[in-house]
Amino acid sequence: MTVSEFVQASGFAVFCRGEDRKIESGYSGDFLSNIISRAPEGCCWLTVMNNVNVAAVATLIDCACILLCEGTEPDEPMFQRASQLGIWVLGTNMNVFEAGKTVAKLCNV
């Protein structure tokens, strides 16, 4: 499922749009060095972190999108950087566990 298809199916908020890539898997975490070393390329990265470093790490790991959970919204520097880099940033009020179940169900991962 592509990110745009996922957005339509999930109803999650869209903060930034990017290249419409296929979501290959999901990965959750907030410890950036762990994300860098373990998150797979093409994943939907679930996090509650909302600073500019998240956009940098998303580019480094080449994720399909970032899903901010628990009502988190990107801060202004993150929004600006993600927009500039063409990174999808989505949002939900769900906790990380529930959002992860949604990713797994809709994307068949």
Q: Which tens digits make up the pLDDT trace of 27-46?
A: 999 999 999 999 999 999 99
Q: What DSSP element (H or E) covers 27?
A: strand 25-28
Rounded distance between C-alpha atoms, residue 98 and residue 73, angstroms: 17
| pLDDT for res 109 | 81
The partner residues of 65 in beta bridges, in order of sequence, read 44
Residue percentage of the chain with pLDDT more than 90: 98
Mean pLDDT of the chain: 97
Q: Is the CB of residue 92 less than 8 Å from the CB of residue 21?
A: no
Q: Which tens digits make up the pLDDT trace of 54-89?
A: 999 999 999 999 999 999 999 999 999 999 999 999
pTM of the model: 0.97
Closest CA to 75 of 44, 97, 53, 43: 53
Q: Is 66 helix (H, G, I), strand (E, B) or coil?
A: strand
Q: Which tens digits make up the pLDDT trace of 86-96?
A: 999 999 999 99
